[in-house]
Amino acid sequence: MWEYSEKVKEHFFNPRNVGEIKDADAVGEVGSLACGDALKLYLKLDENGRIEEAKFQTFGCGSAIASSSALTEMIKGLTLDEALKITNRDIANFLGGLPEEKMHCSVMGKEALEVAISNYRGIKIHAEEEGEGKLICRCFGVSEGQIRRVIKENNLSTVEQVTNYCKAGGACGSCVPEIEDILFEMKKQIKRIPVEEKAPKKKLTNLQKISMIQDIIENEIKPSLKQDGGDIELVDVADNKVFVALRGTCTNCPSSSFTLKSGVEAKLKEYVSDELEVVEVAS
């Protein structure tokens, strides 16, 4: 049986913003009833282009309802560009975490938001990745582009993780070999520290610790933030506290706290020491 946080239970039993906006400025629909999960997201903008109202209709499990409810609360008051910076992990973190097997619910929320904003702007979402992309999982209607996206955005490395994040491979299993091929290809393209090559956990000198922290920030974290106009600077390291300053679009981003904890701190704990704590200082 899966363990759900109290916040997940709260948003499931008392979901916020359920329903339809008749005169919505933007509507995004993802999933299908045939595949077991479907979400329709409605957005209403104010005169300044900020999201004034957000509502949803969903068919799915408790995690799908909770994720949709959380998303509508998170995006209120944001501009469309600010809302687009919210990741599926931000949604999960807002809820105090989701079972790994239910992460596809947070992905569905993120995708519905992207589709709604793209429809509003009159552009085809992820055309460069999906377009007429090959359908890999026929059971759940998941394309190669979608699989590549969840692998890249969530640093996935196994078929089981792919299934947890987008359901591909979770039914008949006939697409598993193709998913394995995609994973193998993407592992070769992405430069990162392989798990099997990581040094065994041992006591680091302060110089070793600082050097590793600098390397991870420069080569693993900065490139990702710069893609969205953001940046990060290492300010100081004291014992197990890592002091950083966010730059660019990250400075006033409403999701900056999620970025620091689920992105920066999590990666430093994984590759350097699980005792590290990231602390933001004024820019």
DSSP states of 218-240:
IIIIHHHHHTTTEEEEEEEEETT
Distance CA 227, CA 54 (A): 27
pLDDT digits (tens, 9 = 90+) for 35-44: 567 899 999 9
Give the residue, 2 or 114, on which the prediction is more confident.
114
User: What is Dmax (Cα atoms) for the chain?
Assistant: 61
Give the pLDDT band of residue 56 (cuts 50, 70, 90).
very high
pLDDT of residue 81: 93
- H or E segment and range at residue 166: helix 159-166
The mean pLDDT of the chain is 83
Min mean pLDDT across 15-24, 125-134, 172-181 is at 125-134
* One-letter amino acid for residue 5 of the chain: S
Provide mean pLDDT across the span 147-170: 88
Closest CA to 244 of 260, 268, 227: 260
User: For the segment 208-260, what is each residue's pLDDT rounded down to a tens digit?
Assistant: 888 888 888 888 788 877 777 788 888 888 888 999 888 887 777 766 676 77
Query: Is the domain defined by 196-280 classed in CATH 3.90.105.10?
Result: no
Question: Which residues are marked as active site?
Answer: 35, 105
**Cβ count near 43 (within 10 Å):** 26
Six token digits for residue 129: 């990745």
Sequence ranges of the domains in the chain: 6-121, 135-189, 196-280
Architecture (CATH level 2) of domain 6-121: Alpha-Beta Complex (3.90)
- pLDDT exceeds 70 at position 189: no
- Greater confidence (214 vs 133) lies with 214
137: left (phi over 0), alpha (psi -120 to 50) or beta: beta
Distance CA 250, CA 252 (A): 6
| pLDDT tens digits along 74-106 | 999 999 999 999 999 899 999 999 988 889 989
Higher pLDDT, 36 or 204: 204
DSSP 233: E
The pLDDT of residue 34 is 55
Fold (topology level) of 135-189: Arc Repressor Mutant, subunit A (1.10.10)
